[in-house]
Amino acid sequence: MAVADPQQTHYLKTGEEYVKSLQDDREVYYKGERVEDVTTHVATGGGIREIAAVYDDQFDSQAQNVLTYVRDDGARVTSSYLIPRTRDDLRFRREGIKHVARSTWGTHGRGIDMIATLPLGMLGELPSFKRECPEFAENIHWYLKHAEENNIHLGETIVDPQGFRSRAAGTAPETAPPERATARIVKEDATGIWISGVKGVGTCVPQANELILGSFHPPLDEESFWVYVPVDSPGLRMFCREIVHRPGTSAYDHPLTSRGEEIESIVAFDNLFVPRERIMAKGTRSLHGVNFYNVWARLEHWYTFVRIVAKAEMYVGLAQLIMDTLELGEIPVVRQRVADIIEYCQILQALQLAAEDLAELSEGELMIPDVNVVTAGRSYALDNLPRILHILQDICGQGMILRWSEKDLETPAAFGKNLGWFLDTRNMSARDKNLVMNLVWDVAASEHATRSKLFEESNALNVPFLKERLYGEYDRSKFLEECRHFIGLGPAPERTFTPHILAPSLSSVTNTKGDDPFANGSKTRG
Ligand SMILES: Cc1cc2nc3c(=O)[nH]c(=O)nc-3n(C[C@H](O)[C@H](O)[C@H](O)COP(=O)(O)OP(=O)(O)OC[C@H]3O[C@@H](n4cnc5c(N)ncnc54)[C@H](O)[C@@H]3O)c2cc1C
């Protein structure tokens, strides 16, 4: 790694400093036992090393051009918290996001710069936060500076556990605490608030420095808050799911899954103290609701899309590697299957460019990529992802499953030849062919691959929700008018195209009580 100017003032952590920053009092459990040190534990250590490599890249003379930037005061800082004001800022960030995605084959949905989009998104809607909750809105500036200057890796816990629905936020407000499971404010004084309850999923939280805690559907004032807290705060506990990577196996046998993973955990809060400066909003139901979230989290929406585009580009590279390895390039039918992957990638790349070109300033003057293009892009990408993974598997034929250890390849098989002799191709030794197939297995068929696909599909609106969102937000009034005009119908009744997801089980709570003023276009932003 070529090391950039060590003399320059900076607010960057090296990989080692990031690892040290996690050796604190955090309370993490794996299979019922307390994890002493997340940086060395079998469940979390590998993923942490993968993230640390990205922290180190910030000092690489090439990579630092996309992962960092020089502030007006001359200090070099992470680009994670760069406030995008222009389309060029978005293009710059896009390359940083792709660099982070490529470092783990896109399997870390929470790259070091991902949840950074949430405090930025709050800034993008600062007028709403100021109007609805003036007491805390200015803390958004404080938090962004703090996070930037401490090179913070952030996690997110918003969605409730999948237990009794009547115990979750957004449903059955008549179920009084403490029978409700959802996180809520249990005490407050002039110094801050105390929160108790449980959140269902926090990807990467045991491997992060801090997390944002909030809710989509809080029907009660005491369940309405947006706060940022350090992961080692007393009273915060994380319970990790079973791992899907293969610690201890060789990088040859499992080029991707031997390395590590970002881990999901349930996150519990037992009288968690949050000081006032870490509260961005409190007791303000209008700053919750999935429709308002979909407004201020548009940068997160875009980030997720860019990561998928980076993966599509890698699928194209992998497909060609398979073609070269198995000498399939002359077979038209197989070429067409690879062309399907290229087409998928090109459509996504085109949408990525369109989202940047059509970007507009938000109320808080952040440049925000075109939301409908991003929604359509994510929906298209996820709808077609199973087909693309299937093509990758299919063009491997027997190769993806018939994989061998190096020792197997050296074992005598027939007429004096080792097994490897029968598996060599014109372009590749059996050993290298096997390595390629090992990668395809890890990327497209392993448990790790399944988790990664599940993450893309579920973590931030699945395909039906994305389509619902597109239906609600895409302004097609001009096309409607043209149709009506063609057959002599008068103008259509006026309608607004605002963030609008109807969540049937929740809408009766959020809409009738007026908790979500951003739903149904009943109140436009600003
Ligand atoms: C790998 C992974 C990582 C995740 N990481 C995070 C994270 O870091 N932070 C975080 O806060 N959350 C995270 N999530 C949670 C994710 O946002 C939720 O899984 C998702 O919102 C669906 O909620 P649920 O799992 O509770 O499903 P459920 O509510 O139990 O729903 C089950 C199914 O029914 C559908 N459904 C339910 N209600 C409705 C409705 N009203 N209208 C239409 N369809 C409906 C759902 O879409 C889903 O398909 C993660 C999830 C996964 C799988």
- % the chain with pLDDT above 90: 81
- Answer whether 157 contacts ligand 1 (Cβ < 6 A): yes
Q: In sequence order, which residues have a C-beta less than 8 Å from that of residue 119 and are 6 or more positions away?
A: 81, 140, 143, 144, 147, 154, 212, 228, 280
Residue 402 pLDDT: 95
Kindly give the number of the ligand 1 atom that is closest to the alpha carbon of 455: 1
Residue 136 pLDDT: 96
CA of 163 to the centre of ligand 1 (A): 12
CA of 487 to the centre of ligand 1 (A): 44
- Answer whether 62 contacts ligand 1 (Cβ < 6 A): no
Residue 63 pLDDT: 97
Domain end point (choices 415, 440, 464): 464
Pair (227, 342) in one structural domain:
no
Pair (274, 327) in one structural domain:
no
Beta strands in 177-230 (DSSP E): 184-189, 192-203, 210-213, 225-230
- Answer whether 459 contacts ligand 1 (Cβ < 6 A): yes
Residue 501 pLDDT: 60
Taking only the tens place, the pLDDT of each residue in 74-83 is: 999 999 999 9
Where does residue 235 rank: exposed (0-12), middle (13-18), buried (19+ CB within 10 A)?
Answer: middle
Instruction: In whole angstroms, give the CA distance from residue 202 to residue 204.
Output: 6
Spacing of C-alpha 315 from chain mean position: 19
* CA 119, 123, 129, 130 torsion-angle sign: positive
Q: How far is CA 148 from CA 61, 71, 87, 250, 416, in A?
A: 20, 11, 21, 36, 63
Q: What is the pTM of this model?
A: 0.93
Taking only the tens place, the pLDDT of each residue in 154-178 is: 999 999 888 766 666 666 666 666 6
Kindly give the number of the ligand 1 atom that is closest to the alpha carbon of 503: 41
**Is 2 a residue whose pLDDT tops 70?**
no
Residue nearest to atom 26 of ligand 1 (CA): 162
Pair (133, 36) in one structural domain:
yes
Determine, yes or no, domain membership for 261.
yes
- % the chain with pLDDT above 70: 91
- Answer whether 508 contacts ligand 1 (Cβ < 6 A): no
Helices (H), 163-250: none
Taking only the tens place, the pLDDT of each residue in 466-508 is: 999 999 999 999 999 999 999 999 998 888 887 766 553 333 3
Spacing of C-alpha 321 from chain mean position: 27
Question: Is the Cβ–Cβ distance between 108 and 153 less than 8 Å?
Answer: no
- Answer whether 450 contacts ligand 1 (Cβ < 6 A): no
Taking only the tens place, the pLDDT of each residue in 383-407 is: 999 999 999 999 999 999 999 988 8
CA of 190 to the centre of ligand 1 (A): 35
Determine, yes or no, domain membership for 145.
yes
Kindly give the number of the ligand 1 atom that is closest to the alpha carbon of 158: 11
Taking only the tens place, the pLDDT of each residue in 259-303 is: 999 999 999 999 999 999 999 999 998 898 888 898 999 999 999
CA nearest 366: which of 130, 131, 120? Answer: 120
Instruction: In whole angstroms, give the CA distance from residue 386 to residue 117.
Output: 27
Residue 277 pLDDT: 97
- Answer whether 455 contacts ligand 1 (Cβ < 6 A): yes
Determine, yes or no, domain membership for 227.
yes
Determine, yes or no, domain membership for 480.
no
Taking only the tens place, the pLDDT of each residue in 457-473 is: 988 889 999 999 999 99
Determine, yes or no, domain membership for 115.
yes
Pair (301, 281) in one structural domain:
no
Domain end point (choices 441, 464, 487): 464
Pair (213, 318) in one structural domain:
no
Residue 21 pLDDT: 98
CA of 157 to the centre of ligand 1 (A): 12
**Is 509 a residue whose pLDDT tops 60?**
no
Pair (254, 352) in one structural domain:
no
- Answer whether 168 contacts ligand 1 (Cβ < 6 A): no
Pair (338, 354) in one structural domain:
yes
Residue 162 pLDDT: 84
Residue 504 or residue 450, greater confidence = 450
Pair (90, 151) in one structural domain:
yes
Residue 493 pLDDT: 87
Q: What CATH number is associated with residue 72?
A: 2.40.110.10
Please report which confidence band the pLDDT of residue 17 belongs to, taking 50, 70 and 90 as the band edges: very high
Residue 253 pLDDT: 93
Pair (128, 165) in one structural domain:
yes
CA of 463 to the centre of ligand 1 (A): 12
**Is 516 a residue whose pLDDT tops 60?**
no
Pair (63, 204) in one structural domain:
yes
Determine, yes or no, domain membership for 53.
yes
Please report which confidence band the pLDDT of residue 73 belongs to, taking 50, 70 and 90 as the band edges: very high
DSSP type of residue 20: H
Amino acid at 100: V
Where does residue 397 rank: exposed (0-12), middle (13-18), buried (19+ CB within 10 A)?
Answer: middle
**Domain range enclosing 144:** 15-294
Arithmetic mean of pLDDT, 122-149: 96
Kindly give the number of the ligand 1 atom that is closest to the alpha carbon of 468: 43
**Is 515 a residue whose pLDDT tops 80?**
no
Residue 18 pLDDT: 98
Determine, yes or no, domain membership for 48.
yes
Pair (39, 176) in one structural domain:
yes
Residue 303 pLDDT: 98
Pair (327, 367) in one structural domain:
yes
Instruction: In whole angstroms, give the CA distance from residue 230 to residue 152.
Output: 10
Taking only the tens place, the pLDDT of each residue in 198-208 is: 999 999 999 99
- Tokens, residue 378: 């994510």
**Is 518 a residue whose pLDDT tops 60?**
no
- Tokens, residue 174: 């008549």
Determine, yes or no, domain membership for 197.
yes
Residue 505 pLDDT: 39
Q: In sequence order, which residues have a C-beta less than 8 Å from that of residue 409 and are 6 or more positions away?
A: 418, 419, 420, 423, 430, 431, 434
Residue 182 pLDDT: 83
If one residue of 107, 159, 182 were mutated to test the ligand 1 pocket, choosing by the most ligand atoms within 8 A of its CB, it would be: 159
Taking only the tens place, the pLDDT of each residue in 314-324 is: 999 999 999 99
Domain end point (choices 446, 464, 482): 464
Arithmetic mean of pLDDT, 350-368: 96
Q: What CATH number is associated with residue 427?
A: 1.20.140.10
Residue 522 pLDDT: 31
Residue nearest to atom 15 of ligand 1 (CA): 459
**Is 67 a residue whose pLDDT tops 70?**
yes
Mean pLDDT of the chain: 91
- Answer whether 203 contacts ligand 1 (Cβ < 6 A): yes
Arithmetic mean of pLDDT, 125-153: 96
Looking at the 3D structure of the chain, how many domains does it have? Answer: 2
- Tokens, residue 493: 């009744």
- Answer whether 211 contacts ligand 1 (Cβ < 6 A): no
**Is 451 a residue whose pLDDT tops 80?**
yes
Amino acid at 81: Y
- Answer whether 228 contacts ligand 1 (Cβ < 6 A): no
Please report which confidence band the pLDDT of residue 3 belongs to, taking 50, 70 and 90 as the band edges: low
Residue 218 pLDDT: 78
